[in-house]
Amino acid sequence: MFVLNAWYVAAWTVEVKREPIRKVICEIPIVLYRKLDGTAVALEDRCAHRGYPLSAGRVVEDVLECGYHGFQFDCSGVCVRIPAQSIIPQRARVRAFPLVEKDGWIWIWTGDAGKADESLVPDTHWMTDPAWATVTHSFQFECRADLIHDNLLDLTHESFIHLTTVGDDYIYEHGVTVEVEGNLISVDRLMPGVEAPPLYAKTMSTKGLYDRFHCTKFYAPSFHALHSGITGQGRPRDEGYLIKVMNGITPIDAQRSHYYYAFSRNFGVDQAWATEELVDGLATVLIEDKEALEWQEIGLKSRPSNESDVLIAQDEGIAKARRVMGQLLAAESATSSPK
Chain positions contacting Fe ion, by CB under 5 A: 289
Closest contact distance (angstroms) between CB of 40 and ligand FES is 22
Which residue is at the shortest CB distance from Fe ion?
Answer: 289
Closest contact distance (angstroms) between CB of 70 and ligand FES is 6
How long a stretch of residues is the chain?
339
Closest contact distance (angstroms) between CB of 79 and ligand FES is 9
Strand partners, 58: 65
Q: Is 49 in the site for ligand FES (CB under 6 A)?
A: yes
Q: Name, in order, each residue with C-beta under 8 angstroms of 275's C-beta and a sequence gap of 6 or more.
A: 133, 135, 268
As a whole number of angstroms, the distance between CA 201 and CA 207 comes to 8
Q: Which is nearer to ligand FES, 49 or 290 (CB)?
A: 49
- Partner from Fe ion, ligand FES, none binding residue 49, C-beta < 5-8 Å depending on class: ligand FES
Mask: binding to ligand FES, 56-75, rule CB under 6 A, as x and -?
----------x-xxxx----
CB neighbours of residue 193 within 10 Å:
12
Task: State the angle between helix axes of 316-336 and 145-153 in degrees (0 to 180), rounded to the nearest 10.
Answer: 140
As a whole number of angstroms, the distance between CA 26 and CA 221 comes to 12
Q: Is 52 in the site for ligand FES (CB under 6 A)?
A: yes
Using CB under 6 A, which of 32, 40, 47, 318 touches ligand FES?
A: 47
Three-state DSSP class for residue 241: strand
Q: Is 22 in the site for ligand FES (CB under 6 A)?
A: no
Closest contact distance (angstroms) between CB of 50 and ligand FES is 4
Size of the site for ligand FES (CB under 6 A): 9
**Rounded alpha-carbon distances, angstroms, from residue 29 to 19, 39, 100, 138:** 16, 20, 18, 19
- Partner from Fe ion, ligand FES, none binding residue 71, C-beta < 5-8 Å depending on class: ligand FES
Are the beta carbons of 161 and 139 closer than 8 angstroms?
no
- Partner from Fe ion, ligand FES, none binding residue 40, C-beta < 5-8 Å depending on class: none
